[in-house]
Structure 1
Amino acid sequence: MAVREAIVNLLAKAGLATDRPSRSLMVDLIHDNLGFPLTLSEHATGRDQLIDVVNACARADGGMRALDHSVRMLRPGSPESELLHRLVHEPRMHDLLPDSELLWLRSVLSGFTPPRLSALVRRSASPAVCPAGEPGDAWEAFCSLTELNTPAHGLPPALAFVELIAAKCARPLGDELREWNTWQARRVQGEGRLRELRTARTPADGCGELRLHLVIMVEVDGIDPDRHVVSHWRQEDPQEWPPARGGMATIRGDELENHVGRLIVDAEREWSEYREEVALEFVLPRALVNLPVHRWCKEHETGDPRPLFLDYPIVIRSLERMFSRQWHRAWRRRWEALLGNPSAERVYYCRPQDTAERHRLDAILSDGRWLVMVLAAPPPERPRPGGDELATGLRTGIPVLLWHPDASAEVLRGAVAWLLDGGGLGDLPARTQDSRRAAFGEESPPADFQACRDLVILWDDPSRLIFLDDGPYLPNATREDADERGKAC
């Protein structure tokens, strides 16, 4: 109804409410474009007649496009015809709200700058279409979002933004904004999505609390195997996913740890006013899954590097699985099962004989009860066709895979059982971090503690995929290369 009202106002502004001959010509043009006449009634006023025409066009298949074409013929190049075209094909919020509503909202939002304003804009718009530039206040942010098209779910990004802003306001102003937003969502038929937005206040990672994530992807350079291409995604809102890509750099292997440390320090500077917990994730290809990222440090330039595990849970993720959409259905099913029943009884411990016969392990893992797999040995750089533990786990959708660089099967099984005792699977990364820190307080740490210090956790949440193409990037993202060889690539 809001679009129809705006179109009627435009037609009246173009003079078609008072100019009866032009209005009759418009109706004739509509009929010619449709190929059949509309059923219209006679009305006492020109505006009432326009309402009847617009409603009839809205009910007819192709009617609104016929109306658009007729007005462009009657008023070519006029502001009214251009705005009508946009309303018919891509309605935007500022075209639908009456001036009185905008004046009230402006009086509320002007000069108001809540914390993380840019993050609220990104969450409203999605990173792929987020307006460029930093908004000065909430009103400027709202105006920039009104330029974006309404998505398929029916709630314009500008109204999603008002809802997020309302949550930042104390009563009674927050209640007034929500009431205003309810009415506007009803006008544009976006009430369903607004209800979803109001109830979607649960953690996105299934861990019981909101976290910020820094995701660092490392790939082997396609030309020089001694170099690595590093990308990163820094989350600025625990409920926003995916964040924008932060940039790319080509790094020599011996500089990789230092570069990652600088990325983490930069992220901490940006997070200086946040209170949420932070998790580190390394997206790695098969050839790099044995990088000892759990032993890396930050702040090397101080001369006293600090181990990452003291401050963050550290997990790796599979780059191959990110790319392989044919594996995602099984992956999502197992992850949902893990969130629903994170029992230690759903861990499968691989044995050497599982890979002795081709596809034996595939058959074992086809049983949906298995959600976690402990590998019998670290995965080699190249898979073994028909009998590879890592490849089989990824293809069958196992979301959590564990291994150790050198511990025996017996010690590893004891360490995993100790980690899961009484806590289940849901907080495995955090419990592993606790065990690594606790090992420093033991003069002679038990074997379980020692094994946990080097335990590798592939913890793959399919609800948090990342962009693997060249965008979108943060506004200040950079591409770095150590020399001109990167440009030749």
Structure 2
Amino acid sequence: MSAGEQTHGPGRELHLPSTVRVAVREAIVNLLANAGLAADRPGRSLMLELIHDNLGFPLTLSEHATGRDQLIDVVNACARADGGMHALDQAVRMLRPGSPESELLHRLVHEPRMHDLLPDSELSWLRSVLRGFTPSRLGILVRRAASPATCPAADPGDAWEAFCLLTELNTPAHGLPPALAFVELVAAKCARPLGDELREWNTWQARRVQGEARLRELRTEREHNGGGELRLHLVIMVEPDGIDPDRHVVSHWRQEDPQEWPPARGGIATIRGADLEYHVDQLIVDAERAWSEYREEVALEFVLPRALVNLPVHRWCKEHETGDPRPLFLDYPIVIRSLERMFSRQWHRAWRIRWEAMSGNPSAERVYYCSPQDTAGRHRLDAILSDGKWLMMVLAGPPPTRPRPGGDEMATGLRSGIPVLLWHPDAATDVLHEVVAWLLDGGGLGDLPARTQDSRRAAFREVTNPVDLRIARDLVVLWDDPSRLLFLDEGPYLPDAMREDSDERGRAS
């Protein structure tokens, strides 16, 4: 563990001695005492002479009644002196060459690990609790505690083994070692009183290593995420094949942890148009098998280019192999997302501003209903949507596969940052507006995907409603969250046309 106070590389010293943490100094005092230097006055005096020789000047020390108190004074004086900890390291290496204590002291000075900073009694108690305990989704807890770049490659067998693996990782700048972040996550999996005991233990250890602030933040984050709003997402991207118009390229991203984004891309396949629904069916069934032990809700999203936004994904079914396929909307809120906007970074600032505005005030009064007159004049709709009041658009009709320059509803909405677009393939304007107003009544924009799903279910049940919900089955909801962008393994994905343009610019530079 890098305690944040060391400088890296052999022979380098702590140039900011005040940052030598109490936990490091405590561990060094314990090590020296266990090596017999608390009781061995002559040995302690010799160590001090060597420290002074290595420093080139004497430390200012006080006389103490006990040998341990004298060691504390020596270690604290070394921590305050420029080069002092390095001098201590060299002195012990000369006193006890090749000994385990000299090797451990060297690591504590230059690269202390979490395991080295905790007293044996503390580790013994934690071992008794974690050994043999395997919380659900242990691998996810380990990845969440460690940053993705430093996550241990080994697959731990139980929580104690996971803790030990995480003690080898560096401490982030915020000061909470990954091993203690892991204990906090495990505590959340335990019932009382054990969960409370683990949290109390963790509070003391975080104080020891000066990671209390980050621990408080972590607990606050968990409280905010404890309201049942977490979802797992399966995101499926469909693109036309660049050569065969009857084929489509399908990629997918499946979340394994609702608190982590982005997940890794799950794969890519080229599928005939007639087989698209069946391929998506298999992706969903595979996801449900992987999620069999989860309790979170699931959301299904389709990332589509302009040419495919009218693909009827909301009518598709799953489990065709059973002979009784089940409509997707019975189990998932289904939305689409814009491929062009996701990878057009020049649109993202406006997009994020409107999304944040919607999070703060999702009022139904912030919906703009388009009319044919809006596209009669060039850039008339651009001017209307430049008002930050608007957060959702109801299109006058389904968008054509190719945009109309200067007067295209969908293109204008995307470029203006409108995060939510809705349309219907053939509903009359007044009926569509009535249904939308009913969907937004009470919950506003924030509940639109779930309310749309409920309306589709209600239409099947022939529930009596004040509006005609039969049109709800073909409503298309483009619901775009800018915080969940997609990435391929090598970085942000670019559609072929954009990638070629980027390559040209790269060659030109």
Structure 1 length normalisation: TM-score? 0.80
In the alignment, which residue of structure 2 is the partner of 1:312?
A: 332
Whole-Å Cα distance in 2 between the matches of residues 226 and 81 of structure 1?
Answer: 70
- Give the one of 300, 308, 312 matched to 1:288: 308
In the alignment, which residue of structure 1 is the partner of 2:379?
A: 359
Counterpart residue identity of residue 51, structure 2:
R
Change (3 A) 1:471 1:329: closer
Whole-Å Cα distance in 2 between the matches of residues 383 and 68 of structure 1?
Answer: 72
Q: Is the 8 A contact 1:348 1:370 kept in 2?
A: yes
- Give the one of 409, 413, 423 matched to 1:393: 413
Counterpart residue identity of residue 249, structure 1:
I
Aligned-pair CA distance for 1:265: 0.8
In the alignment, which residue of structure 2 is the partner of 1:99?
A: 120
SS in 2 for 1:19: helix
- Give the one of 5, 17, 27 matched to 2:55: 27
Q: How does 1:432-447 map to 2 (within 5 A)?
A: 432-442=452-462
In the alignment, which residue of structure 2 is the partner of 1:487?
A: none
SS in 1 for 2:444: coil
Counterpart residue identity of residue 385, structure 2:
L
Counterpart residue identity of residue 261, structure 2:
P
Aligned-pair CA distance for 1:87: 5.6
- Per-residue Cα deviation, 1:83-111 (whole angstroms, up to 9, x for no partner): 77766676542233222221111111111
In the alignment, which residue of structure 2 is the partner of 1:331?
A: 351
Change (3 A) 1:367 1:290: same
In the alignment, which residue of structure 2 is the partner of 1:55?
A: 79
- Give the one of 416, 422, 431 matched to 2:451: 431
Counterpart residue identity of residue 182, structure 2:
F
Counterpart residue identity of residue 26, structure 1:
N
Moved more, 447-456 or 170-179: 447-456
Whole-Å Cα distance in 2 between the matches of residues 72 and 323 of structure 1?
Answer: 58
Q: Is the 8 A contact 1:68 1:85 kept in 2?
A: no
In the alignment, which residue of structure 2 is the partner of 1:272?
A: 292
In the alignment, which residue of structure 1 is the partner of 2:433?
A: 413
Whole-Å Cα distance in 2 between the matches of residues 459 and 323 of structure 1?
Answer: 16
In the alignment, which residue of structure 2 is the partner of 1:31?
A: none
Higher relative contact order (CA 8 A, sep 6+): 1
Q: How does 1:452-463 map to 2 (within 5 A)?
A: 452-463=472-483
- Per-residue Cα deviation, 1:214-248 (whole angstroms, up to 9, x for no partner): 2223344556555444333333444x221532521
Q: CA RMSD in A?
A: 3.7
Q: Is the 8 A contact 2:86 2:109 kept in 1?
A: no
Change (3 A) 1:40 1:397: farther
Whole-Å Cα distance in 2 between the matches of residues 71 and 386 of structure 1?
Answer: 78
Aligned-pair CA distance for 1:48: 4.5
Counterpart residue identity of residue 237, structure 2:
M
Structure 2 gaps, min length 5: 1-21, 38-42, 493-509
In the alignment, which residue of structure 2 is the partner of 1:177?
A: 198
Aligned-pair CA distance for 1:333: 2.9
Structure 1 gaps, min length 5: 29-36, 473-489
In the alignment, which residue of structure 2 is the partner of 1:247?
A: 266
When the two structures are aligned, how many residues end up with a matched partner? 457
Change (3 A) 1:444 1:176: closer
Q: Is the 8 A contact 1:278 1:312 kept in 2?
A: yes
Q: Is the 8 A contact 1:40 1:52 kept in 2?
A: no
Counterpart residue identity of residue 308, structure 2:
L
Query: Looking at CA atoms only, which structure, 1 or 2, has the larger radius of gyration?
Result: 2
Q: Is the 8 A contact 2:264 2:489 kept in 1?
A: no
Aligned-pair CA distance for 1:414: 2.3
Q: Is the 8 A contact 1:439 1:445 kept in 2?
A: no
- Give the one of 210, 221, 227 matched to 1:200: 221
In the alignment, which residue of structure 2 is the partner of 1:346?
A: 366
Whole-Å Cα distance in 2 between the matches of residues 252 and 201 of structure 1?
Answer: 41
In the alignment, which residue of structure 2 is the partner of 1:299?
A: 319
Whole-Å Cα distance in 2 between the matches of residues 222 and 11 of structure 1?
Answer: 70
Q: How does 1:220-259 map to 2 (within 5 A)?
A: 220-221=240-241, 226-238=246-258, 240-242=259-261, 244-254=263-273, 255-259=275-279
- Give the one of 470, 477, 497 matched to 1:450: 470
Q: Is the 8 A contact 2:52 2:59 kept in 1?
A: no
Moved more, 436-445 or 148-157: 436-445
In the alignment, which residue of structure 2 is the partner of 1:136?
A: 157
Whole-Å Cα distance in 2 between the matches of residues 423 and 95 of structure 1?
Answer: 53
- Per-residue Cα deviation, 1:394-425 (whole angstroms, up to 9, x for no partner): 33322211122333433322221222233322
Moved more, 313-322 or 121-130: 121-130
